[in-house]
Amino acid sequence: PDSPLARWNKSLHSLLGDQDGAHLFRTFLEREKCVDTLDFWFACNGFRQMDIKDPKALRVAKAIHKRYIENCGVVSKQLKPPTKVFVRDSIKKQLIDSTMFDPAQAEIQLMMEDNAYQMFLTSDIYLEYV
Amino acid sequence: IDSEDDLLQECITSAMPNKK
């Protein structure tokens, strides 16, 4: 009744909370050339779990910003300009906070839920697995 | 000292489900 597949269908969160599900979704996104959205989503979760007093936190925040937001990649293109400015300013002013990526992550998550996740559930890669 | 890429990868991996 609560098979992995049933859980994957429930929500994006359930899919990403399952090792096989996350792996298969990642493979799907690689084919769709937007795997950065998923890596960014996980990076935001990882950042939120970090000890904000650890000097590493600022370096990780900068690395996430540089890799996904500052460029013209798939994540950057999906984020609203004010959201990008908020992250950029937080880093510039060194106002590092556990929640500083939350708005950006929420926007990317909404895009994934509405697009990639729906496509995934009808994709060949998913149906073959089923 | 860890490189930026290593730190980012470590951060992503730490959030992946069901680490073994």
- Per the prediction, chain A carries an average pLDDT of 95
Q: Which two structure tokens, joined as six digits, stand for A32?
A: 């769709």
* A16 interfaces chain B, CB cutoff of 8 Å: yes
Could you give the residue ranges of the DSSP H alpha helices within A1-130? 4-10, 12-16, 19-31, 35-49, 55-64, 74-78, 81-92, 102-114, 116-121, 124-129
pLDDT at residue B9 in the model: 97
Identify all chain A residues contacting B1, using CB atoms and an 8 Å cutoff. none
Q: What is the DSSP letter of A66?
A: I
Q: State the pLDDT at residue B20.
A: 43
Structure confidence at residue B19 (pLDDT):
47
Choose among A24, A19, A66, A71: nearest CA to A43.
A66
Number of neighbouring beta carbons within 10 Å of residue A92: 9
Instruction: Report the 10 Å Cβ neighbour count for A130.
Output: 8
Reported as a pLDDT band with limits 50, 70 and 90, residue A4 is confident
Count other Cβ atoms within 10 Å, centred on residue A53: 8
Residues A2-31, mean pLDDT to the nearest whole number: 92
Closest partner CB to B18 (pick from A19, A62, A64): A19
Amino acid in position A109: Q
B3: contact with A, CB 8 A cutoff: no
**Mean predicted confidence (pLDDT) in A16-29:** 96
Q: pLDDT (tens digit, 9 = 90+) per residue, A113-126?
A: 999 999 999 999 99
B1 pLDDT band, cuts 50/70/90, is low
B7 touches chain A (CB under 8 A): yes
3-state secondary structure of A84: helix
Mean pLDDT on A43-57: 96
In contact, A119 and A102? CB cutoff 8 Å = no
Q: Nearest-CA distance from A21 to chain B in Å?
A: 9
Q: pLDDT digit string (tens) for A56-101? A: 999 999 999 999 999 999 999 999 999 999 999 999 999 999 999 9
Q: Which of A42, A63, A67 has its CB closest to that of B15?
A: A42
